[in-house]
Structure 1
Amino acid sequence: MTESWTPESPNLVIHGDNLDVIAALPDASFTLVYLDPPFNTGRSQRRQSTTSVRSASGGNAGFKGVQYERIRGDLMSYDDTFEDYWSFLEPRLTEAWRLLTDDGTLYLHLDYREAHYAKVLLDALFGRECFLNEIIWAYDYGAKSKRRWPTKHDTILVYVKDPQRYHFDSEAVDREPYMAPGLVTPEKAERGKLPTDVWWHTIVSPTGSEKTGYPTQKPAGILRRIVQASSREGDWVLDFFAGSGTTGAVAGALGRRFVLVDRSAESIDVITARLEAAGIRFESR
């Protein structure tokens, strides 16, 4: 049960339906929400006539306004497969907005099948002015297509609760090598450069020590950069598609506090073993 959760609670790993769990958490509790939901594959692009749906709340843009309802209706009319997926994801993103602090940030990790649809809807759901970045995580591993350009990237959409107040600390982020170190001073080359919105980072090695065996595990290096930039020590981080627990492992190592939620018993087992091996204290519910 999460009704007793407070900002003073211990780190939590919760087994259950994430929508039920997060609905019991109090408003404005988390500085960072990272979500890596299941990707929607098998898209059926069957164009239909679009309709506009007026919101009872009125308004022209932003959270739950007319623009949001119209865009939502248009996209769902366009694609039946998207309607099923977004009906699953939409209420969870609405809760994520509620749970963010005023200086909080949402990172939504998707692949190429959903990113462009989600971008349009999040512009309307959060407000277009709250869009911060589209991060491209590029990697080079796995099968190589010979009939199209091989798809070797994911998209991470970044939205803030309040564009005037969000926390972002570029100096806290691990730097990376210059691609052409000879073009900068030796001092700059030694220090490295700040990352851009294109992140070159390998996937989790199938034979590496980081591997947990969980099929959708994301690299700790990707989450480390996110947590470093968009939270401070002691801040609360939420991941309610927790999977292999990378968010919690990184947050705990960096002195952040976290709540992880997943409905999969396999996921909870992997997370528990991973956090215990890392010496990160938490409670299970």
Structure 2
Amino acid sequence: MNTVHSGAYCEPCCIKDGHEIEIHHVSYRQKEHYQCEMHFHEVQELIFFEQVEGTFYYHQGETTLRPFDVVYTPAMETHDFDLTNDAKSWYIVQFPKTLFETEQFSGLSTLFEVGMHLRIPDAYQAQLLQIIRWAHESFNSDKYHAKSIALLNLALVILKEHGEVKNAQVPRILSSRSLNAKIKPVMEIFRKQSSVVLSLEEAAKKCHLSPSYFSRVFKSIFRFSYSEYVVRHRLYHAARMLGQSRVSITHLSYDLNFSNPSHFIAQFKKQYGCTPNRYRKAIMTKYAKNEA
């Protein structure tokens, strides 16, 4: 999927059943609205930037992004981006951790145990990006994705041999693993459920924390209050489901525990800048062009 957005979101894609990998291309025009928030995935994620200027927030702290940089985030690690209004584009690659357990990738697993920001020497930038472009083309055309996985392996070898790990410039308390550990029971619930219905008090109790302390820890990690993030989490899954299924807007709104379809549509438009129906049409149009 080559995605150009009129309403921005932090790519809510996931690995489809039967797939070992997902590769998508994302691009935004100059001054086109882009929005991301602190989030995590169930899978490993690599982002290969083409054009970019901004900041990457992750467990180790924060770093400044430049064109051709690569960022890696392991499963369940929170991360975020704050990007400028300039034109921007990247390839996003997601795959399960079990890929590192295969013979083909086993020699690379030690490098990719923690989140990283890698800078690529000039001599290898075009080569690495071309490999990822080929992997993306293969992903879109090859039903079994064997070629795209082989190309990903080659890209990771280049990263291991030539990538320079950029140290975090500003350590942040929200990046601390110890803080994430404190609310891990609730993070697991968010990971497994598309709609979390726990009250703040119930969520705090599951983590054996007082509501006030839980609230402070949660906001320090996700940069939103617990109640705000509950809604954003539902909308994130709504965007994913709109792009991957034909479920009706009405059913989706009730499945995700919105009070009614009108409330869901209003919240979705506030978050993504367009109605759910318009969002789905844009995604389906991109899929159709991709398959043409």
Fold agreement, TM-score > 0.5: no
Could you tell me the TM-score, scaled by structure 1's length? Answer: 0.32
Q: Which has the higher helix share?
A: 2
